[in-house]
Structure 1
Amino acid sequence: MAPRLPRRQFLAAAGAATVAPFLARRAPAFLQEAGPGRPEKLRLACIGTANRAGDNIAEVRHEQIAALCDVDRGFLARAQGEFPEARAYADFRALLADADALDLDGIVVATPDHIHAAATALALGKGIPVYCEKPLTHTMEEARAIVALARKAGVPTQMGTQIHATENYRRVVELVRAGAIGRVTAVDCWVTKSWGDGRLTPGAVAPETLDWTLWQGPVPEAPFIEGIHPANWRRYWNYGTGTLGDMACHIMDLPVWALELTGLRAMKMQVQAEGPPVDAVGCPGWLEATWSIPDTAVGGPLVLRWFDGGRQSPFVKEIGAKDGQDYHQRFSVCFQGTDGALLANYDELLLWPQGRFEGFVPPARTIAPSPGHHREWLDAIREGKPNAPLCNFEYASRLTRIVLLGNVAYRAGVPIEFDFCDHQIDSDRTLEHLLSAPRREGWALPSTA
C-alpha cells in the first residue's frame, strides 16, 4: 500500500491549481491517500434513518456509513444493526460537532421539512457536501439562506428530487426546448393525493422511543400530536409544507427545468391560490395555485398552475374527454403550446393531438444520461466539481421558493407579487412574515454575510 500523504502534499502532487476551491479548504477523506492504497469509499453521515431516509441510505450504502443520526432510538437501533461500525447520534448538532473526528466526506439529510435548513446549514458551515431531501427548506427565508451558505462553502450539493435523473424528464425538456409544441404559454401540474387536514390531538403522548423536544428542533415547543411521527408531519404548517411542498418539487421541477425558471436572472411573478378556509395548524386538503410570470428566459409570458387533493386542470379534463382518456390518472404535467400540447409523468410522455404528431421525429438528445441522482452527488465529491449535480442548491433553492410561494399566497388569502431579486412581496410588505417562521432560541441559522 502506498504511504499516506498529508492533504497538502497530495493536493500539490495532484495539481492543486486544478482542484476546486472547496478541496483547498477541506479535502474529502479519500484525498488523504494516494496511489494504489487510495480508498474507494466516501465517509458519509446520514441524518434520519427510516422511511424516505432509509431509501436514501440504500442508495449510498456502498460507500462507508460513518455516522447515523435519528431522534427515534428505535429507528436508530435498527439502522445500527445494518451498520454496526457507524457512530450513532440522537442530535445532529452533536454529530456535526464531531465532523472532523469522523472525517466526513458528505452528509445526507432526510428529516421532516422543518429540520432541513438547520442540519444543512451546519454542514455547509463546516465545508461538508450535502444531499438534502426535498423541499430544500421549510420556508422561503431558509431557502434564501441555504443557497447563500452553499455559494460560500463551494461544495457539491444535491436536493433529493430523484425524478430529475430519469430519461423521460430529459426527453420532455428536449422536446420543449426544441419547440415541438411551439411557444409554451401555460403548464398545468397536478397530483391526486392530499397531505391536508392536520388536527391537534390534546393529551396525546409521544412514543417512548421518540425524543419529542429534539424532534421539534427549531420550532417552538408544542404538545405532541397523535400520529405525527413518523410521516404525518407533512399535514402541519409547523413541520411540513402540505401536498404542494411535498410533491411539486418533483412535478413542477419539469416545467421549471424545461423553461429555465431557475436562472440567476431577476424574475418577478404574481401568485394566487385558493383552497378550503385557511387553518392555523393544518395544511389544506386541496389547493389550486397559479404563478403568472410576465417574462421568462425562453421568451414571453407564462402561466403555471397547480392542482391537488382531487382538483383537476380544465384543459386536461377537456382534451381527455375528447380522447376518451383519463389523463389526470395517467399523467401529472401538461405543457400547452401554440402548436400543441405535451403531457408527461415520471416515465411516459404524449404529444397532443396525436394525429398532428404522426411521424414526428424527436430532436437530437442534448442532455446526457444521469448515472443516478445520488451518484451525481457522490461523483461530484470525488471529482471536486461543486456545480456538477443538476439539482444543486443554486437550482434547488429557486425551485423550492417557486413552490413555497403557492403556500404563501394561499395563507395570505390574496394574490401576491414576489420579486426574486429583492426577495420581497412587492404587493404588500405586511405579508412578509409568511416568508419565514419563528425559531426557538438557540436555533438561529448561521450568518450568510
Structure 2
Amino acid sequence: MSRTLSRRSLLKTSAVAATALAAPNYIRARNANEKLNVAIIGAGGRGAANLNGVASENIVALCDVSTPAVEKAAEKHTSARKFTDFRKVFERAKEFDAVVVSTCEHTHAFATLLALQHGKHVYCEKPLTHNIWEARVIREAAAKTKLATQMGTQIHAEDNYRRVVELVQTGAVGPVREVHVWVGRAWGLQSAEEAKANKDILFVTERPKDEVKPPADLDWELWLGPAPARPFNPVYVPGPKWYRWWDFGNGTMSDLGSHWNDLPFWALKLKAPTAVAANGPKPHPELAPASMQAVYEFPARGDMPAVTMTWHQGSFKPPQWTEKKIPQWGSGVLFVGDNGMLLSDYSKYLLLPEKRFADFVRPKPFIEKSKGHYAEWIHACKTGAPTTCNFEYAGWLTESNHLGNVAFRVGKRLEWDAEKMKATNCPDADPFIRREYRKGWQLV
C-alpha cells in the first residue's frame, strides 16, 4: 500500500464512512462478559501502557512504526497480526471491533478518524489531536456515530477529582470567578538555567541539519507521516523527545494540559473561551516553550459566573503561590471562590483557609465511582453506556489547550469565535489553527 493517502483511498474511506455514519450500530451487540477484538495502533511508550489497560480483551492487531515495539507486544499477544502502517490495519477492519490509538500526537487524528469512519469504537491517547481544526473534525465525526470514545486522561477516573467537582458544583467556596492551574514539569525549549535545573540532556535550540541514518527497525517516513519532511535525528525519538517540536507535539500544554485543565473544565462546565492571551519567552519557530502563561476568559454558564482560568507552566506560578498564601505544591489547581479557595492536585485537596472550613460538612458523593478509565471505555463498547472523557468533552478541552499555544505563538490576545473556529482580531493565528500536511497526506 502506498505510504500516502491517495485520492482513491480517500474516496474508499469516504464510502466506508458514509456506511458507518448511516448505520452506527452495525457492530453486533455484545454481552458485557464477551471479549472485544481490539486493534492496537502504537504499541511502544504510552502505547504499551494503553495495551496493558485493555489486555483483558482479545488483542488481534499490533501496529507500530518501530519493529521492536511490535515484537515486544507480540510476546504476550502471540496470535495478533503485526503491522507497521496503521492504514493497512483497516484493510482487515472486519476482524476487530475497537481501536486504541497511541501514536505520536501529530498522527492521532489520522488513525482516530479512520477508526470512526470504519465504525470502530476508539480510545485515543491524549491530546486528542495536534491542533484545533483536527479536534473539531474528530469531535464532529464522533458525534455522528453511537460509538464508544474515550481520550486517555486516566486521572479523570480517580476519586479525588470527583470529590473536587462535587465541592465546586455544590458551592463549597461560593461562585468561582478565578482559577489557576500550574505544572512543574516542562517539555519545551528551556533557558540554560532551566535546562540545568531539570537536568535536561536535550538542550537543543535549532533543528538539526546533520544527516543521520535512522535505525533499521524504525520506519522514519511513516513516523513523520503528515509532518514536514526532515532527516532522522535522535533528538526527535523516542518519546517524549518529540513533545518539544511544534511539527510533532505542542510542548507541556498539550501534554499536561489534558490532565490538569481537565479538572476546571469538568468542575466549572467549561467549553469554549471567548478570549485568550499568553506570555513568556520569545516564541521559537521550531520548539514549544518550557515556561509560559496563558489567560483564558470563559463566559457565564447557567448559574455559574464568567471565570478567568490562568495556566502556568515551568517558572510561572499563581500569585497566591508566589506570595505563599497557599501550600507550595509543585503542581495544582486553585479555585478562587467568593467564600474561600479550593486547592487540588491529582490525589488530594484542601479547602482554604482551613480554619474557616474546620466544621464544614462535605456533600454526600453524587458522582458515581469509575470502573477505571480503560474499564469504563470497554464497558461502553459492549453496552452503549456513556464514557466520561468521550470525544465531545475531550474535543472542547483539546481545542482550548491548543488555543493557549496559538495565543503564545502569535503574541497577541485572541478574541475567539468558537463557532467559526476563528481568532476574529488576528488572521496571523490561522496557520496555527489548521496546519498544512505533507504532500500525499490529507485528513478529510
- Answer whether TM exceeds 0.5 for this pair: yes
Residue by residue over 1:279-306, the C-alpha shift from the partner in whole angstroms, topping out at 9 and shown as x without a partner, is: 1111112111100224334432211001
Percent identity reads: 40
| Counterpart mapping for 1:81-120 below 5 A | 81-100=75-94, 102=95, 104-120=96-112
Separation (CA, whole Å) in 2 of partners of 1:322 and 1:76:
50
Aligned to 2:281: 276
Residue by residue over 1:119-164, the C-alpha shift from the partner in whole angstroms, topping out at 9 and shown as x without a partner, is: 0001100110100011110010000000111112321100000111
Amino acid at match of 2:60: A
Amino acid at match of 2:106: H
What is the CA distance between 1:225 and its match in structure 2?
2.7
Q: In the alignment, does 2:334 pair up with 1:334?
A: yes
Aligned to 1:402: 400
Amino acid at match of 1:53: G
Which range is displaced more, 64-73 or 413-422?
413-422
Aligned to 2:438: 440
Amino acid at match of 1:251: W
Q: In the alignment, does 2:216 pair up with 1:208?
A: yes
Separation (CA, whole Å) in 1 of partners of 2:102 and 2:183:
22
Kindly indicate whether the alpha-carbon contact (under 8 Å) linking 1:296 and 1:302 is maintained by their aligned counterparts in 2.
no
Kindly indicate whether the alpha-carbon contact (under 8 Å) linking 2:43 and 2:62 is maintained by their aligned counterparts in 1.
yes
What is the CA distance between 1:256 and its match in structure 2?
0.5
**Which of 254, 262, 269 pairs up with 1:253?**
262
Amino acid at match of 2:430: E
Aligned to 2:409: 411
**Which of 296, 311, 318 pairs up with 2:301?**
296
Q: Any gaps of 5 or more consecutive residues in structure 2?
A: 1-20, 190-203
What is the CA distance between 1:422 and its match in structure 2?
2.0
**Which of 232, 239, 243 pairs up with 2:252?**
243
The verdict on how the C-alpha distance between 1:442 and 1:25 changes in structure 2, with shifts beyond 3 A counting, is farther
Separation (CA, whole Å) in 2 of partners of 1:86 and 1:153:
27
Amino acid at match of 1:390: T
What is the CA distance between 1:107 and its match in structure 2?
0.3
Residue by residue over 1:324-353, the C-alpha shift from the partner in whole angstroms, topping out at 9 and shown as x without a partner, is: x42x32x51100011110000111000000
The verdict on how the C-alpha distance between 1:24 and 1:252 changes in structure 2, with shifts beyond 3 A counting, is closer
Separation (CA, whole Å) in 2 of partners of 1:25 and 1:303:
41
Kindly indicate whether the alpha-carbon contact (under 8 Å) linking 1:260 and 1:298 is maintained by their aligned counterparts in 2.
no
Aligned to 1:345: 345
Which protein has the bigger helix share? Answer: 1
**Which of 113, 116, 121 pairs up with 1:124?**
116
Amino acid at match of 1:244: M
| Counterpart mapping for 1:139-158 below 5 A | 139-158=131-150
SS in 1 for 2:160: helix
Residue by residue over 1:49-84, the C-alpha shift from the partner in whole angstroms, topping out at 9 and shown as x without a partner, is: 112111111111011100000000111111111211
Separation (CA, whole Å) in 2 of partners of 1:39 and 1:305:
44
What is the CA distance between 1:269 and its match in structure 2?
1.5
Separation (CA, whole Å) in 2 of partners of 1:344 and 1:281:
33
The verdict on how the C-alpha distance between 1:22 and 1:55 changes in structure 2, with shifts beyond 3 A counting, is farther
Residue by residue over 1:377-397, the C-alpha shift from the partner in whole angstroms, topping out at 9 and shown as x without a partner, is: 110111024xx0011000000
Kindly indicate whether the alpha-carbon contact (under 8 Å) linking 2:105 and 2:248 is maintained by their aligned counterparts in 1.
yes
Separation (CA, whole Å) in 2 of partners of 1:414 and 1:384:
43
Residue by residue over 1:83-113, the C-alpha shift from the partner in whole angstroms, topping out at 9 and shown as x without a partner, is: 110000000000012111x2x1110001110
What is the CA distance between 1:206 and its match in structure 2?
1.9
Kindly indicate whether the alpha-carbon contact (under 8 Å) linking 2:24 and 2:119 is maintained by their aligned counterparts in 1.
no
Aligned to 2:52: 58
Kindly indicate whether the alpha-carbon contact (under 8 Å) linking 1:117 and 1:142 is maintained by their aligned counterparts in 2.
yes
- Cα RMSD of the aligned pairs, angstroms, is 1.9
Amino acid at match of 2:216: E
Amino acid at match of 1:335: F
Q: Any gaps of 5 or more consecutive residues in structure 1?
A: 1-20
Aligned to 2:200: none
Which range is displaced more, 85-94 or 290-299?
290-299
Normalised to the residue count of structure 1, the TM-score between the two structures is 0.87
